[in-house]
Amino acid sequence: MMRRITAAVLAAVAAGAMLTGCGANADRGSGGDRAQRPGPVQGADEGPENGSEWNGQGADGNRSPDRAPDASGLSTFALDVDTASYGYAKRRLDQGSLPSPSDVRHEEFVNSFRQDYPAPRGDGFSVTVDGARVGDEEGWSLMRVGLATRPADEVNRPPAVLTFVVDVSGSMGDPGRLDLVQKALRAAIGELRDDDSLAVVTFSDSARVALPATRLGAEGAREHARSVVDRLAPEDSTNLEAGLRTGYDMALESARRGATNRVVLLSDALANTGETDPDALLERIDRARSRYGVALFGVGVGNEYGDELMERLVDKGDGHTSYVSTPAEARALFVDQLPVNIGLRARDAKAQVAFDPRTVERYRLIGFENRAVADEDFRDDRVDGGEVGPGHTVTALYAVRLKAGARGHVATATVRWLDPHDRSPHEAAGAVEADRLAGRLWDSGTSPRLRVDAVAAYFADALRTYDTGDGQLPGAPGLAELGDRAHALAATTEDPAVRDLAEAVDSAYALRAG
């Protein structure tokens, strides 16, 4: 029966295979009061010609027009903790080329960095809202909505049942692909607990079960799992359909009630064999998620990487994506961050920001284009949101223009999620006043982490729009200035990740200048 169901669920798993070519918190159940919503923001005519423009000067002096907001005053989106876009862009820059603008997503750049948000007391989220003025443009601010979950409790977490679906196609034979996956898997085998289970499915032109689901506490289990991983070798073409079909078969057969059941796809996502209907693939993965609760975590590798395909698969699988290009990154992902990647604090999490028309003239969400949710679906728990694990943060940045002389309430941010165990709905909210947006972004008194977020967002904006100049952020510095600010923040924070960001900005500037 299970295999017949899974066959139906994954019959089109190949479907996308060719897609390459600081406010107070208020936690409430669904029976609680809704967050107070202000009325619509007025003057929200379509097109920059009906309002002012910001003069966001990029490295080449291009102007980035103000985009008028929707008249409802609401902004709603599903949470997203993906970071692969930044990791892949960094790899491309290390290799001496600019990433494709279509592979750059603002929110994944920002989410790649440590934040300064307080942790909530239980499952769910804390909500922090702050910001600062940008550039010399009167009224424009960068507003930050920060959400955080409680860190992992490795001792008390549920057991994990992980099915690793490993791409062993010919393209994985290049350095930094299958060899990196093997290092990562060996590290994971050593870190997982005795009550965790692990299976390995490999795929090339077809798929096979290299290691059936095995409890790692069994005698000799870890040694056997390591030997299976060591024997992996690149083969032929990339039939992603076969790999995911077989992987989900294994995951559903070995799923345990009360455990965290995950499929982990490790691939360069350069599929070239299998069926070619992407919508069918996404539908099948979504059905497996909704019926059986098996989420998909994607790990991308390789200098050539099918980022769009991986993101779409994982979004439908209620998981997230990461990208690794070095052994250090692989170890950090599979050792230091493993509980974050396999645990769960919230299901179907969505955020809605309500802007106050008395103080706000215009606003715009930066990024999250493919995570938009209809405003009226915010409290419809049948509408899919994002899955968020322990110790995760989600940051959403808004460009906000306040009315002249604005004082008092600016916006209220509310996050809604389902309990990961009993699926009961909960909410938490935070608000921000105009005086919290009054400080200047680059002043030393502004939170260093907010400034890092700004650098990451401006950097993504520059990479997305270097050929059009149609940026999303006001007050954009050129890449040279942005690199200087990133290096200063690296010294202030003493954070190696911020140092890497500064070096990536330098590389982009050098490539643009060349």
Residues ≥6 apart with Cβ < 8 Å to 162: 188, 192, 196, 197, 198, 199, 262, 264, 342
Q: Token pair for residue 422? A: 């009993």
- pLDDT at 332 (0 to 100): 85
Q: Which of 283, 306, 337 is the last residue of a domain?
A: 337
Say whether both 350 and 460 belong to one domain: yes
Task: Please state the φ and ψ torsions of residue 35, each to the nearest 5 degrees.
Answer: -60, 140
Three-class secondary structure of residue 500 per DSSP: helix
Provide the sign of the torsion angle of the four alpha carbons 99, 100, 101, 106, taken in this order: negative
Residues ≥6 apart with Cβ < 8 Å to 496: none
* Structural domain includes residue 354: yes
Task: Please state the φ and ψ torsions of residue 417, each to the nearest 5 degrees.
Answer: -150, 165
* Structural domain includes residue 17: no
* Structural domain includes residue 39: no
Taking phi over 0 as left and psi of -120 to 50 as alpha, with beta for the rest, 73 belongs to: left
With tokens 């007025």, the residue in question is: 42
- For residues 268 and 307, is the Cβ–Cβ distance under 8 A? no
* Structural domain includes residue 29: no
Burial of 468 per CB tally in 10 Å (0-12, 13-18, 19+):
exposed
Three-class secondary structure of residue 145 per DSSP: strand
- pLDDT at 9 (0 to 100): 36
Tell me which H or E stretch contains 163: strand 160-167
Q: Give the integer Cα–Cα distance in Å for 301 and 325.
A: 6
- CATH, residue 238: 3.40.50.410
Burial of 357 per CB tally in 10 Å (0-12, 13-18, 19+):
middle
Give the pairing of strands 321-323 and 197-203.
unpaired
Residue of 127, 184, 129, 126 lying closest to 151 (CA atoms): 126
Chain segment 209-228, per-residue pLDDT in tens: 999 999 999 999 999 999 99
Q: Which of 292, 313, 337 is the last residue of a domain?
A: 337
- pLDDT at 71 (0 to 100): 62
Provide the sign of the torsion angle of the four alpha carbons 87, 55, 354, 75, taken in this order: negative
Say whether both 416 and 297 belong to one domain: no
Task: Please state the φ and ψ torsions of residue 302, each to the nearest 5 degrees.
Answer: 100, 145
**If you ran DSSP here, which 8-state letter would residue 439 be given?**
S
Q: Give the integer Cα–Cα distance in Å for 129 and 397.
A: 10
What is the number of domains present in the chain?
2
User: Rounded to a whole number, what is the distance in angstroms from the first to the last CA of the chain?
Assistant: 61
Say whether both 79 and 181 belong to one domain: no
Say whether both 145 and 164 belong to one domain: no
Alpha-carbon separation of residue 21 from 55, 74, 271, 282, 431 (angstroms): 37, 37, 8, 18, 45
Q: Give the integer Cα–Cα distance in Å for 147 and 281.
A: 31
Q: Which of 337, 362, 397 is the last residue of a domain?
A: 337
Chain segment 266-296, per-residue pLDDT in tens: 988 776 666 545 565 666 677 767 777 788 8
3-state secondary structure 379-428: CCCCCCCEEECCCCEEEEEEEEEECCCCCCEEEEEEEEEECCCCCCEEEE
Q: Give the integer Cα–Cα distance in Å for 40 and 495.
A: 41
0.85 surpassed by pTM: no
Q: Token pair for residue 489? A: 């923040």
- pLDDT at 280 (0 to 100): 59
- CATH, residue 141: 2.60.40.1230
Burial of 168 per CB tally in 10 Å (0-12, 13-18, 19+):
buried
* Structural domain includes residue 221: yes
* Structural domain includes residue 6: no
Say whether both 136 and 174 belong to one domain: no
- pLDDT at 276 (0 to 100): 41
Instruction: List strands edge to edge, sheet with 393-402.
Output: 126-133, 140-148, 393-402, 360-366
Burial of 206 per CB tally in 10 Å (0-12, 13-18, 19+):
middle
* Structural domain includes residue 22: no
Say whether both 177 and 312 belong to one domain: yes
Say whether both 294 and 327 belong to one domain: yes
Say whether both 132 and 184 belong to one domain: no
Sites in the chain below the pLDDT cut of 50: 1-69, 276
With tokens 């443009």, the residue in question is: 137
User: Which domain covers residue 177, as residue numbers?
Assistant: 160-337
Say whether both 118 and 172 belong to one domain: no
Say whether both 378 and 309 belong to one domain: no
Residue of 77, 75, 70, 74 lying closest to 39 (CA atoms): 74
Q: Token pair for residue 413? A: 């941010």
Tally of residues, the chain: 514
Chain segment 373-395, per-residue pLDDT in tens: 999 999 999 998 988 988 899 99
Residues ≥6 apart with Cβ < 8 Å to 141: 131, 132, 133, 134, 399, 400, 401, 402, 437
Q: What is the CA radius of gyration of the chain?
A: 23
- pLDDT at 278 (0 to 100): 53
With tokens 């050792």, the residue in question is: 335
- pLDDT at 506 (0 to 100): 98
Say whether both 188 and 290 belong to one domain: yes
Could you tell me how far CA 220 lies from the centroid of its own chain? 36
Q: Give the integer Cα–Cα distance in Å for 26 and 125.
A: 10
* Structural domain includes residue 78: yes
Say whether both 291 and 387 belong to one domain: no
- pLDDT at 70 (0 to 100): 53
